[in-house]
Structure 1
Amino acid sequence: MSTMTLFHSPLSPFVRKVMVVLHETGQLQRVTLQPVNITPVNGDEQLNQGNPIGKIPALRLEDGTVLHDSRVICEYLDLQHVGPALLPREGAARWRRMTLASQADAIMDAAVASRYESVLRPEEKRWDGWLNAQADKIRRSLANLEQEHLAQLASGFDLAAIGVACALGYLDLRQPQFGWRERQPGLAAWYAEVSQRPSMVATAPSA
């Protein structure tokens, strides 16, 4: 029985992250999906209720409270299920995994911002230097994942790993020419494996 409503756009990597968590924790049946179609200049009145910044994903709880930002929603869902936690509850391990999860979100932020700049902004107003800076952020982050964090990612499909997988999936969707697999073969091998998980297959976006 659904007791919550998720404001949902299947092409958003942040929404996908929440959907993967719902699948992984067995909570999908608790949520009704409410499709929304927004851009930075076109909002949704229903989404804005209790969520004045108009962000997706947003999760309306049974009592009407609205949670927004995928990190907040995922941590909430992690406290609502029976089974292993998707983030350590305390100690140094928690901060390490939260920082890795934040790095995954930063990749998504840069990729989404690049998408808006290159597709939604009028061509005569696009800023190539800004686009190049976003690409550099992504490249540095992926190189760091390859060099420093493959063992952590392979240790379990937790919130950090889910975030990285969704970020890579979004790059494949929106910037297939990015060529990250050639530069990060270890990350590519890890992603090839986790992308076969039922939660990833069920939430795979299509343009």
Structure 2
Amino acid sequence: MKLYTTRATPFGRTVEIVAHELGLHEDLDIVETIVAPMKDNPAYQQITPMRKIPALIIEDGTLIVDSPVIAEYLAARVGDTRLFAKSSPDHWKVLSRYAIARGIAEASVAARYEFAARPEAFRWQGWVDDQFDRITAALGVFEKDPPAATGAITIADIALGTALGYLDFRFPDYGWRDRFPALAAWVKPVEARPSFAATRPPI
């Protein structure tokens, strides 16, 4: 399988962590792929028209796009039901928490693009503030009800861990660890997992 990705995004990192957790990472040919707003990447657009990362091409040439879809495919490939809690009464809770965690990542990336891609004269601070208002509210949800410290890791836990890692990577001054001590305590052993340690974004 060929995975077009970069660990600089929480979405690509999530898929790599899923592959590690499922024992599939050695089956992946990782193709480091960079995309950015208003920067053409015609070669990658030939692979996936929206130029979104990550994208997976499996052995028969089928293209699978979007990190939630790829993660679900990898779980199905090995018959795993644990990651998405498919056989558990918590299935819908896990999916909802996954969506919230993914929303933290989406808002963080949107804020990052405002500073990294938009010309300074056109930056909209109010819009960035709105993204961080969403991030703070979502982190508050997890602070009040943090993931279990023990037991099987879920896709929601992985997405939350990568979103927090992205905040550390791109917005260290946000200081989420001081604001959300329960999450800071939860993430320490998560960050020590081999799957997380092996996929840390570049400094």
Interval of TM-score (by shorter of Structure 1 and Structure 2): over 0.9
For residues 44-55 of structure 1, the aligned pairs below 5 Å read: 44-55=41-52
Q: Which residue of structure 2 aligns with residue 189 of structure 1?
A: 185
**1:95 aligned to 2:92?**
yes
Deviations 1:156-206 (A, max 9, x none): 311110000000000000000111111211100011111000111100112
- Alpha-carbon contact 1:154-1:190 (below 8 Å) kept: no
Q: Secondary structure at the match of 2:44?
A: helix
Q: Which residue of structure 1 aligns with residue 66 of structure 2?
A: 69
**1:60 aligned to 2:52?**
no
- Alpha-carbon contact 1:36-1:44 (below 8 Å) kept: no
116, 120, 142: which one pairs with 2:117? 120
Deviations 1:66-125 (A, max 9, x none): 111100000110111265621122564211101101111100000000000012110000
Q: Secondary structure at the match of 1:204?
A: coil
TM-score scaled by length of structure 2: 0.94
Q: Which has the higher contact order (CA 8 A, sep 6+)?
A: 2
Q: Secondary structure at the match of 2:71?
A: helix
Percent same amino acid at aligned positions?
38
Contiguous gaps of at least 5 residues in structure 2 = none
Structure 1's 74 and 177: CA in aligned 2 closer, same or farther, altered over 3 A? same
Runs of 4+ in 1 over 4 A off after TM superposition: 151-155
Distance in 1, matches of 2:195 and 2:115, equals 30
Q: Secondary structure at the match of 1:37?
A: coil
TM-score scaled by length of structure 1: 0.92
Q: Which residue of structure 2 aligns with residue 22 of structure 1?
A: 19
**1:157 aligned to 2:153?**
yes
**1:198 aligned to 2:180?**
no
State which drifts further: 29-38 or 98-107. 29-38
